Amino acid sequence: MKHRGSYRLGLLLGMTLRVWRPLLRWESRERHLIEEPCVLAFWHGRLLGVLMDSLGSGATSMASRSADGALAAGALVAAGIRVARGSGSEGGREALKEMHEHLRAGAPFAGLTVDGPRGPWRKVQPGVIMLARWLGIPVVPATFSCRSSGMLRSWDRMVLPRPGTKVVVAYGERIPAESLPRSLDEGAEIVRARLEALTVALDREVAGRDLWPAL
C-alpha cells in the first residue's frame, strides 16, 4: 500500500475520534433524513462533527490517493466508514463507482466533503451531483457547530470542538436528484446555498457568532 505510514496515522486519529466523542455533549437534529439512502454533503472544515455522528454506521465515503488521502482513509476505516479511493484529479470516477457498489451492498448513505480534498474552500465540486443523479437518490446537506471550539490554520479552517462543549449536528432538507438542474454548476450552486445557510444559522444559534467569514 502506498503511503502506509499516513494510513496508520489515520487509523490512530480515527480511534482518537472514538475516545473524543463521549467527552462532548451531543445533539443530532433531523437524523431521520439519512435513514434512507442519500448522498450526505458537508464542508471539509465541518467533517469532524458529521463523522463523529456516524461512527460505526458502515456508510461509504471517498478519500484521495495522496498521502493526505491515506491519512483520511485510515481515520474513516477506524471510524467504521467504508472508503473508496479517488478524487476529482485522480480516480474520481472509479471511486464513485466503488461508492455505488458499497451502497448496493448495504451502506446506509454516501458521505462527501463537497469542497474536498483540497478546495477551493466552500466551493461545491460536481461529484456530489453526479453521484446523486447516477444513483437516483437525494442529496442531504449536513453540518455541525459547537459552543467552544478551536480552528486549524488550514485551507479548510477545520472546526475542532473542545472537550466538554455542546455539539449540534444538523441535517437539512433532502434535495431530490430529479429536482436538480441539468447543469452540474447550477446543481452545485443549489447544494452550496443550502449548506451555507444551514451552517450560518447553526453557528449563530449554537456558537452565538459566525465561526467562518462570509464569502
pLDDT tens sequence across 91-122: 778 888 899 899 989 999 999 999 978 899 99
- Whether residue 19 contacts residue 76, with contact meaning beta carbons closer than 8 Å, is answered with no
Q: Is the pLDDT of residue 88 over 80?
A: no
Q: Is the peptide bond between 37 and the residue preceding it cis, with omega within 30 degrees of 0?
A: no
Q: pLDDT value at position 118?
A: 84
Question: For the whole model, what pTM was predicted?
Answer: 0.93
- Whether residue 170 contacts residue 142, with contact meaning beta carbons closer than 8 Å, is answered with yes
Helices (H) and strands (E) in the chain, counts: 6, 9
- Using pLDDT thresholds of 50, 70 and 90, give the confidence band for residue 159: very high
